[in-house]
Amino acid sequence: MNNFNSHRTLILNSTFQPLSIASAKRSVALLLSKKINVLKESNLQIRSENEIITVPKVALLTYYVKAPYARRVALNRSNIFIRDFNTCQYCGSSAESIDHIIPKSKGGENVWSNVVACCKRCNLIKADKLLSQTILKLKNFPIKPEGNFWIKTIIGSNPDPEWKEYLISA
Ligand SMILES: [Zn+2]
Tens of pLDDT along 9-32?
999 999 998 888 999 999 999 999
C-alpha dist (Å) from residue 33 to 15, 30, 56, 104: 20, 5, 14, 50
Looking at mean pLDDT, say which of 47-56, 64-73, 93-102, 159-168 comes out highest: 93-102
For residues 130 and 148, is the Cβ–Cβ distance under 8 A?
Answer: no
Rounded distance, CA 54 to CA 47, Å? 9
Section 107-124 average pLDDT: 97
Cα(159) to centroid(ligand 1), Å? 26
Banded pLDDT at 149 (limits 50, 70, 90): confident
Report the predicted TM-score, pTM, of the whole model to 2 decimal places: 0.69
Cα(98) to centroid(ligand 1), Å? 11
Rounded distance, CA 54 to CA 87, Å? 38
What pLDDT, on the 0 to 100 scale, is given for residue 81? 93
Tell me the torsion sign for CA atoms 21, 161, 118, 149.
negative
Cα 95 from chain centroid?
A: 16
For residues 123 and 97, is the Cβ–Cβ distance under 8 A?
Answer: yes
Cα(157) to centroid(ligand 1), Å? 20
Please report, for the chain, the start and end positions of each structural domain, with discontinuous segments joined by +. Answer: 1-66, 71-133
Cα(149) to centroid(ligand 1), Å? 24
Closest CA to 101 of 137, 131, 135, 136: 131
Report the alpha-carbon angle 56-61-64, nearest 5: 165
Cα(79) to centroid(ligand 1), Å? 18
Cα(114) to centroid(ligand 1), Å? 16
Q: Kindly provide the b/e burial profile for residues 3-12, where b requires at least 16 CB atoms within 10 angstroms of the residue's own CB.
A: eeeebbbbbb
How many other C-beta atoms lie within 10 A of the C-beta of residue 84? 20
Cα(120) to centroid(ligand 1), Å? 7
Cα(155) to centroid(ligand 1), Å? 26
